[in-house]
Amino acid sequence: MDKEIFDSYIKAGKIAAQALEHGKNLIKIGASLLKVTEAVEKKIIELGGDFAFPPQISLNDIAAHYCAGPDDKTVFKEGDVVKLDVGVHINGFVGDTAVTVVLSKDEKLKLLEEASRAALNSALKIIKPGVTLSEIGRAIHAEITKRGFSPIRNLSGHGLDQFVIHDKPSVPNFDTGSEEELVKDQVIAIEPFASTGAGIIYESSNPTIFSIKGKKPVRSPMTRDVLKDLEQYNELPFALRWIVKKHGEGKTRFALRELKNIDILKEYPPLPDKAHGLVSQAEHTVIVRDKPVITTLQK
Q: Which of these is catalytic: 41, 80, 96, 258?
A: 96
Q: Pattern of binders to Mn ion over 266-285, x per CB under 5 A? A: -----------------x--
Q: Which of these is catalytic: 191, 258, 273, 284?
A: 191
Residue 128 near residue 185, CB atoms below 8 Å: no
Does 201 help bind Mn ion (rule: CB under 5 A)? no
Q: Which of 85, 135, 143, 258 binds Mn ion (CB under 5 A)?
A: 85
66, 1, 86, 73: which is closest to 34 by C-alpha? 73
Please, which residue, 85 or 258, has the CB nearer to Mn ion? 85
Print the SS3 string covering 19-37. HHHHHHHHCCCCCEHHHHH
Does 187 help bind Mn ion (rule: CB under 5 A)? no
Does 243 help bind Mn ion (rule: CB under 5 A)? no
Q: Pattern of binders to Mn ion over 86-115, x per CB under 5 A? A: ----------x-x-----------------
Q: Could you give the CA distance from residue 82 to residue 68 in angstroms, rounded to a whole number? A: 13
Q: Kindly list the distances between the CA atom of residue 22 and the CA atoms of 17, 42, 106, 184, 299, in Å, as whole numbers in the listed order.
A: 9, 10, 24, 32, 11
First to last CA, the chain: 23
Q: Which of these is catalytic: 114, 158, 273, 284?
A: 158
Does 63 help bind Mn ion (rule: CB under 5 A)? no
The strand pair at 271-272 and 62-64 is best described as: antiparallel
For Mn ion, the binding residues (CB under 5 A) are 85, 96, 98, 189, 191, 283
Cite the active site residues: 85, 96, 158, 166, 191, 283
